Structure 1
Amino acid sequence: MTTYLLVHGAWHTGECWTRVTPLLEAAGHRVLAPTLTGDGDKAHLAGPEVGLDTHVADVAGLIREEDLADVVLVGHSYAGLVISSVANERPDRIARLVYLDAMVPEDGESAADVLSVTQALIDLALTSESGWGVPPVPEPPPAGLFGVTDDIAWLRTMLSDQPVRCLQQPVRLDNPATRSIPRTHIHCAVKPEGFSRRAVPAVQPNGTPAEVWELPTGHDCMITMPAELSELLLKLA
């Protein structure tokens, strides 16, 4: 049995994995999909003090409380920063990192460093009425809301403002043991205009060839292609 820990991205909740979780469980594996502080049923905890370190504590705390080991740690989008930092804290508990259409940071980088368009969201939040909340996209572009076209109403029920500190705080990747953890990158091929991702280096930090897979869908592939995503994740069990 493999333990999958699925970490949602900005604005979302753990509910976004609803279509993936039963497929992994049906194959005999354990799946945890927490909602991070400030999102969903924890939206009342949102505020200017909530940042990347808060979300790292959420996930690292769950690993500790549940005594998880050999975890396949999956981070979607912004959560690429989260899982990188969690691995830096608990490399002994992580079997593999999966960057799901995610930000892949270097030590000392913030979300804005990894994806430059994020700076515009930060600036918007700092000049907003709250001074700290980054609202989700108000209207879906032609490619859909986070790539979702058929289930936008359901998706909107789980979206809430993202505390800007999450996008400002840098990751800390100073634990050499983190480099030994194998990585898998899953890219969503359908991207909105203005978004580009860094190329994945041909060699992983642990010295093995990079493992990059692709799904022919938009950003929220756990909603639009759950069976295909689950099939890829099951290859890692």
Structure 2
Amino acid sequence: MTRFVLVAGAWLGAWAWDEVAAGLREAGHEAYPLTLSGLAERQGVPAGQQTHVRDIVGEVERLGLRDVVLVGHSYSGVPVGQAAERIGDRLRRVVLVDANAPVDGESFLSGWPSEEVRRSIEAHDGRWPPPSADDCAGQGLTDGQTARFIAGSTPHPGATLTEPAVLERSLGELPVTYVKCLLDGEEPPPAVAELLKSDRWELVTMDTGHWPMFSRPRELARILGEAATGR
């Protein structure tokens, strides 16, 4: 049995993991989906990037979890990677699902054209508005899955995207499985590509889009279980 803390990316809350969490529990694992501050049922709670790091560390400590696998999807790879460093020997492994990885001193928006996102955040009172159905095209989602994603999404706190990560060492020193979703591009972000050179990192691919918790939840649950057991 493995204990998973599941953290979804921008605009999403714990609800996004419902099907994945069910698959993990059916396989005998414990699954703890987490909603970060400022999102979903926690809308209105002020949040920066370090708030999200503290959310994750605090959840692990509150639940008294050990031998834990932290799972970060998309944006949440940045706070999850920092939290992994801070929970020390409670950590078993990190799984990053089509995610960004934290780099000390750099933000989520570092390293990719971000002016449009920054302007959108400024125009929407410091929050990044959710995508439209058209933005989800080509990501392996059915119409129903897209509708569910759009209906549940909430604006994302902009400060979490622009504040720098704080790391004492390279994430390459931690055991990490990186799941690349191929419909979202075959190459991982440059920071991830560099980290994948570490012998402590492994790469797994999925033939689906950026939101596999909706498009391929059972397959993702299986991959998470295998990553945790080293198979």
TM-score normalised by length of structure 2: 0.89
2:210 paired with 1:214:
no
Matches within 5 A, 1:95-174: 95-114=92-111, 116-126=112-122, 128-130=123-125, 132-141=126-135, 143-144=137-138, 148-150=141-143, 151-174=145-168
Q: Sequence identity, in percent?
A: 31
The equivalent residue for 1:53 is: 50
Aligned to 2:22: 22
CA distance in structure 2 between the partners assigned to 1:35 and 1:213 by the alignment = 25
- The Cα of 1:182 is off from its aligned counterpart by 0.5
| Structure 1: runs of 5+ lacking an equivalent | none
Correspondence for 2:180: 187
The alignment of Structure 1 onto Structure 2 pairs a total of residues equal to 224
Residues 7, 19 of structure 1: alpha-carbon distance in 2 compared, 3 angstrom cutoff: same
Distance in 2, matches of 1:142 and 1:90, equals: 34
Give, in angstroms, the shift of residue 218 of structure 1: 0.7
Contact kept, 8 Å, 2:176 with 2:200, in 1: the verdict is no
1:39-90 superposed Cα distances (whole Å, 9 cap, x missing partner): 1111132xxx411111111111111111111111110000010111102222
Q: CA RMSD in A?
A: 2.1
Amino acid at match of 1:38: G
Tell whether the 8 Å contact from 2:132 to 2:150 is kept in structure 1 after alignment.
no
Structure 1 position 226 matched with structure 2 position 217: yes
Higher helix residue share: 2
Amino acid at match of 1:52: Q
Contact 2:7 2:14 in 1 (8 A): yes
Summarize the Cα distance change of 1:209–1:175 in structure 2 as closer, same or farther, 3 Å threshold.
closer
CA contact (8 A) 1:200 1:210 kept: no
Structure-2 change in CA distance of 1:211 and 1:40 (3 Å): same
CA contact (8 A) 1:89 1:175 kept: no
Cα distance in 1 for residues equivalent to 2:13 and 2:136: 23
Find the residue that maps to 1:160 and give its secondary structure: coil
CA separation of 1:52 and 1:184: change in aligned 2, threshold 3 A: same
Q: 5+ residue gaps in structure 2?
A: none
1:91 Cα deviation (Å)? Answer: 2.4
- TM-score scaled by structure 1? 0.87
- The question of whether the paired residues in 2 share the 8 Å contact of 1:95 and 1:181 is answered with no
Q: 2:90 aligns with which of 88, 93, 97?
A: 93
